[in-house]
Amino acid sequence: MSKKSSIKMIPLGGLNEIGKNMMVLEKDDNMIIIDCGVMFPDEEFPGVDFVIPDFTYVTRNSSKLRAIIITHGHEDHIGGLPFLFKEIMAPVYATRLTKGLIELKLNEHQIFEGVEINEINENSILNIGPFTLEFFRVSHSIPDTVGIVIKTDVGTIVHSSDFKFDQSPIYGKRTEFSKIGYYGMQGILALLCDSTNSEQEGYTLPEKVVGKVLLEKFSEAEGRIIVTTFSSHIHRIQQIVDMSEKFKKKLAISGKSLLKTIKIASELGYLDIPDDLIIPINKIDEYPLKKVTILATGTQGEPLSALYKMAINEHKRIQIMKSDMVIISASPIPGNEKAIANIINMLIKNGANVFYESIAGVHVSGHAAQEEIKMMINLIRPKYFIPIHGDNMHKVQNGKIAREVGIDEENIVIAQNGDVIKINYGLCKVSKNINTRTVYVDGLGYGDIDDIVLKDRKLLASDGVVVNVVGLDFEKEEIFHEPDLTFKGIVFIENFDSIIKECRNIINESIFSCFKNKLKTPVSIEKYVNDRLEKYLIKKIRLKPVVITKILPK
């Protein structure tokens, strides 16, 4: 009898952060991927749209890739697919709503050919190389979320997906507790378990709790109601639809992502919207203020979102009024707290009555708290426990929860992105790390952004920029065009005229010093002038702006 080979699991994202979830499983020269998401950057990454997993390992082993399985339709699970498909193709398997959202995303990226997307459900069974995949339905903040059971000849691995145990979900389809317990009875080698809410005690509140708060707020509103929520939060959108219908309000949508998601979810039957409920945003003035609900993008304070434009009075159709009630029905993604607080403050300044998570209970999480994680572990009863979907503090806390319910400490693996986790019936350990890099999406391009680039962007944002243009005659060693200085993004400077004069003196002295020392290339002179100006400005105005010198040779 030949020796059975181990399984390799390699997280390429989601184990050092909240987001960009991606897990590779490999056995007998066959590879499958679970999820391929993005992470939204915080203020430490100015100019970066989002962060994606490092696909290098997958592309180097492309001949092994058999399938990509997606657990649900959130951006941190599907957002990386268009970038992966620019490098490699493989069949995708996803539930009905998730499939629709993936197709929408690929269309946005103009990827129309070569991608095979197969629809699955909780009863599907896939035989892919040495892997047999089965599924179980779980509750989350988006319908059609599934956990995955991965059967192999060395044991069975369960991937929990993002989950919570909502006993009375909005969508009506409950977590398949008996099915999860059935798999646990068969013997489970390892559980990969969501760690996002592992620091939260007790149970996550059910989605219907938000419905009660919305009912209360809709009853109190004296004017328009403006609600913002995640565009993928179908359950929350349905409750806003239901409240608008109950209070005989028309519903207007502001934000492209919301419009697209509502269209897809309605067409597939995941949203039930009365025919005459939704009106175009340009028709809201035709109705009394108390008869209008506006559903808008902007839960995270995004600068281009509808709610942000309302807050700064730059929205084309909506100007905040004193009678407006604004409900921010979402929690801040870590790093976005300041941006959201700024929007709330601007809305309040403009007269709106603002309700948000920490004061009004207008949001509940889609992730399991500690008691639900314990329940998942007790139903699955794994030999090994591997926390996923979180940074180190979430994973370590999840490991503590596992120990509380009887998992041996030596059987709990706290892994990092890039770790190669080797697992079979007798062991589960990290054998090495493949050293994944951080990959940024910046405008239309993506890849590495050097530390110096991010450093310059932070300086530009905080200390501004000084541009110096000067004309030189290299043959005569003369300045034929005196320095022309422009200061941008720098707050009021006392004695500004004298500082400009001193800057010009420093530039002239620096140039003649270069000529004297036989430095006659534009690049070398520009660098020397930049260094001198930078040191002067740090000393004089206590700022360190980005200094750019451009020499115009004669």
Catalytic one of 77, 159, 367, 394:
367
Place of tokens 């892919």: 128
Angle between helices 208-220 and 234-246 (to 10 degrees): 40
- Cα–Cα separations (whole angstroms), residue 241 to 195, 231, 299: 31, 13, 18
- Cα–Cα separations (whole angstroms), residue 256 to 68, 271, 306: 28, 17, 9
Instruction: Let me know how many helices (H) and strands (E) the chain has, helices first.
Output: 16, 26
Strand partners, 27: 30
Q: Is 484 a catalytic residue?
A: no
Q: Is 42 a catalytic residue?
A: no
Q: What's the rounded Cα separation, in Å, for the pair 205 and 199?
A: 15
CB atoms near residue 178 (< 10 Å): 9
Non-local (6+) Cβ contacts of 290 within 8 A are 221, 222, 223, 224, 249
- Cα–Cα separations (whole angstroms), residue 357 to 213, 215, 228, 267, 350: 11, 16, 12, 31, 20
CB atoms near residue 52 (< 10 Å): 27
Place of tokens 């139903």: 379
Q: Which two tokens stand for residue 112?
A: 């129309």
Non-local (6+) Cβ contacts of 399 within 8 A are 385, 387, 412, 414
Place of tokens 């999480």: 365
Q: Which two tokens stand for residue 15?
A: 């184990």
CA 217 to chain centre: 29
For 521-537, give one letter per residue: b (16+ CB within 10 A) or e. Answer: eeeebbebbbebbeebb
Nearest to 134 by CA among 114, 117, 157, 116: 157
Catalytic one of 166, 194, 324, 463:
194
Helical H segments across 385-484, by residue range: 392-404, 451-463
Q: Which two tokens stand for residue 410?
A: 């030596």
Q: Answer left, alpha or beta for residue 255, where phi above 0 means left and psi between -120 and 50 means alpha.
A: left
Tell me the three-class secondary structure of 469-513, residue by residue: EEEEECCCCEEEEEEEEEEECCCCCCCHHHHHHHHHHHHHHHHHH
Q: Which are the catalytic amino acids?
A: 194, 367
